[in-house]
Structures are given as structure tokens and as C-alpha cells.
Amino acid sequence: MERIIADCQKFQTEQNEHFWKCNHDGAGHDFWLTRNGHGAGFWDGDWSEPAATVLTKASKAFGECHLYVGDDGKLYIA
């Protein structure tokens, strides 16, 4: 959880200008989708330009982050 929170806080702080201009509630979800290449996210039409392009590029810079459940039943990040 610490890594997830840190990534989200860093992304929001660095891209704060684009969040406020667009006033979009789905930013966290779009960050997750975009950084992991899920075929949806900032670029799929819900965000205006140039924010869509800027946020897409910034998301991809964080790299992929996939969750999985370990044998111990806890969540891990790969």
C-alpha cells in the first residue's frame, strides 16, 4: 500500500495543474489503466487536450504496476 499511495501522491502532485483544469473524478482509475496499458485511460476521450496527452505520458513514465495475491493471501506488486 505504501508504494501505491506514494506513486499516486507523486503523480497527483506533479500533474496537479491538469487535474484542476479538467475537474475529473476518475483520475486515479485512469492513472492505473494508463500506466498498465489496459487499453483505456487518460487518452480515450474523457480528458481534454493537452491534459490527455500530458497525463498519458506522465503515467507511462511510472511503469507498469501489477497486483497479485501471494500464497500467503496477501497482495503484492510485481
Residue-level pLDDT, tens digit, the chain, 78 residues: 888 899 999 999 999 888 777 767 788 899 999 999 998 999 887 888 999 999 999 999 999 999 999 999 999 998
**CB count in 10 Å sphere of residue 57:** 12
- Report domain extents, the chain: 2-77
**φ and ψ at residue 46, rounded to 5 degrees:** -85, -15
pTM value is 0.85
Q: What is the DSSP-derived secondary structure letter of residue 41?
A: S
Q: Measured between alpha carbons, how far is 32 from 40 in angstroms, rounded to an integer? A: 10
